[in-house]
């Protein structure tokens, strides 16, 4: 079948190439152009992926079957829609949820317990290590009472502001509570 004098197989190849490049571009620079395509749960990655799948399936079916080109286009569109749905449910949604769980705010550090890894001198700054579910956080810290805190001491974060912490030495209620 010819469309505007160009064989349908060649059009499918053009669609694969253009949509594939745009899909990769969107994956790397998606935040910059997300507002132009995101609407009601659709994203630019899904739109461009749909056309990539459509072109690939259409080209393969044109090469391997004797079906009518219109029927091949319809089957390709349905298959691409199904693959896009699988991509969204099993890849994009879990990835979007994973990104949100790794974020912390300075206010969320208040009340946490950590250890001093660089001694905090009187009227100076040292460094503390706080453990969390997403990893460890290392922050500069100063003493609440402006007294020195030795390396290895367990501390309690009193306040987090402007990238540094105000801490005091932690005194557990029960022996053996914190090691």
Does 2.30.140.10 match the CATH number of domain 106-169? no
Query: Measured between alpha carbons, how far is 108 from 167 in angstroms, rounded to an integer?
Result: 14
Q: Where are the domains of the chain?
A: 2-101, 106-169
Mean pLDDT of the chain: 83
pLDDT tens digits, one per residue of 66-97: 999 999 999 999 999 999 999 888 887 887 76
pLDDT band at 133 (very low <50, low <70, confident <90, very high): confident
Claim: this prediction has a pTM higher than 0.75: no
Quote the pLDDT of residue 64.
93
Percentage of the chain beyond pLDDT 90 is: 41
pLDDT tens digits, one per residue of 96-123: 766 555 566 778 788 888 999 999 998 8
Buried b (16+ CB within 10 A) or exposed e, 13-47: eebbeebbebbeebeeeeeeeeeeeeeeeebbbbb
Count the residues in the chain: 179
pLDDT tens digits, one per residue of 37-61: 555 555 777 888 899 999 999 999 9
User: DSSP assignment of the chain, as one string?
Assistant: -EETTEEHHHHHHHHHHHHHHHHHHHHHHHHHHHHHH-BTTB-HHHHHHHHHHHHHHHHHHHHH----HHHHHHHHHHHHHHHHHHHIIIIIHHHHHHHHHT---HHHHTT-EEEEEE-B-TTSEEEEEEEETTEEEEEEEEETTS--B-TT-EEEEEEEETTEEEEEE---SSTTS--
Quote the pLDDT of residue 92.
79
């Amino acid at each position: 079948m010819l469309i505007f004098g160009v064989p349908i197989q060649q059009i499918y190849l053009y669609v694969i190439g253009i949509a594939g490049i745009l899909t990769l571009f969107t994956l790397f620079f998606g935040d910059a152009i997300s507002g132009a395509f995101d609407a009601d749960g659709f994203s630019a990655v899904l739109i461009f992926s749909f056309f990539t799948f459509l072109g690939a399936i259409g080209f393969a079916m044109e090469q391997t079957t004797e079906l009518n080109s219109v029927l091949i286009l319809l089957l390709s569109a349905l298959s691409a829609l199904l693959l896009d749905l699988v991509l969204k449910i099993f890849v994009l949604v879990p990835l979007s949820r994973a990104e949100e769980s790794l974020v912390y705010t300075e206010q969320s550090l208040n009340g946490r317990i950590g250890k001093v890894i660089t001694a905090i001198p009187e009227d100076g700054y040292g460094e503390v290590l706080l453990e969390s579910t997403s990893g460890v956080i290392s922050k500069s810290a100063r003493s609440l009472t402006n007294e020195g805190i030795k390396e290895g001491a367990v501390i309690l974060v009193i306040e987090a502001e402007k990238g540094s912490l105000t801490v005091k030495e932690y005194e557990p209620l029960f022996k053996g509570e914190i090691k």
